[in-house]
Amino acid sequence: MRQHPRIAAIDLGSNSFHMLIAKATTRGYRIITRHRQKVRLADGLTPELTLNDAAIERGVACLKDFAQLLKNYEPLQVRCVATASLRKASNRKQILKHFERALGATIDIISGTTEAGLIYQGATLDLARPDSAMLVLDIGGASTEVIAGIGTEPHVLKSLDMGCVVWQNRYFADGLITAARFAEAIDSAKKLIQPLAKTYQAHGWQTVCGASGTFRAVQDCLRQHGSDTMSAEFINYCMQETIKLGHVEQLEQLGIRDDRMAVFCGGLAILVALTESLDIRTIDLAQGALREGLVHTMLTERKRSLA
């Protein structure tokens, strides 16, 4: 057995599939390589919650690529988890057979609470002080996780039934962007957040960090604008500028990357709803998310087994 083995953490999200391969070190781990593919599983969920063949084929193609990378890097341990889209899919057993055959590894469909806990671990490893109250937000493709904790320990964990892909398809499907559509999308998101607002505000936080692609996209807007603080005011400004552009194909003018344009409005509407419902003033960009949390958990379990 290698003294410092390689491990692989794979996250089958509703928008993107991620793989992180890391090497264990005496102080934790060192990332060897990261890979991400836009699979957009949530795009393939029908109203009956069946995942369609096109989405399954995109997932299989990605996992075959991941399988080749696993063969190249030969990690000692592989852990793969799937999130909201597969939690919802009525044909998930059939999908898992295809996905596990393509990857060559077992895939666990994790609960929303487990997902939230892993996200919090990954997001706070480098940011949190032991006594710091934290709020972590992750806007995924089909779910949004809101987690409050102290240091690296999560205390309040919720997974909400909304995400950037689902909201984009529901409110901006044809690519047109209007103030009325944003208002409707924000109002729908608030209805899911507001029943929980008092619980989170009672817990409190000193720092808020965002751990998903929506936050990185807003950060890109910040850079283009010459600003460095992701404030509630800037997020609202970003929405107003988005509305002025009128169509998703114009979002590159705000600095939005091509691979993010198709789901940006859905994620931004949820973000606005979060900042307004929870009275969030500023947000930091987290350096980690679910896969980093998964690596941390794998290493912790390994240390316990060797003790």
Q: Give dist(CA 75, CA 77) in Å, integer.
A: 5
Domains and CATH numbers, the chain: 6-110 (3.30.420.40), 128-285 (3.30.420.150)
What is the CA 229 to chain-centroid distance, rounded? Answer: 21
CA distances from residue 73 to 4, 36, 212 in whole angstroms, order as listed? 14, 16, 26
Distance (Å, whole) CA 111 – CA 160: 12
Query: E-assigned strands of the chain?
Result: 6-12, 16-25, 28-38, 77-82, 107-109, 133-139, 144-150, 153-160, 207-210, 230-231, 282-285
Angle of CA points 120, 123, 127, to nearest 5°: 120
DSSP assignment letter at 105? S
Please answer whether residues 213 and 15 qualify as being in contact, where contact means their C-beta atoms are separated by less than 8 angstroms. yes
Report angle CA 165, 89, 145 to the nearest 5 degrees: 50
* 126-156 confidence digits (pLDDT tens): 765 778 999 999 999 999 999 999 998 999 9
**Cβ neighbours, 10 Å, residue 53:** 9
Q: Which residues, given as ranges, of the chain have pLDDT below 50?
A: 1
pLDDT at 204: 96
Determine if residue 129 is left, alpha or beta; phi over 0 gives left, psi from -120 to 50 gives alpha, anything else beta.
beta
Q: What is the pTM of this model?
A: 0.94
- pLDDT on residue 1: 43
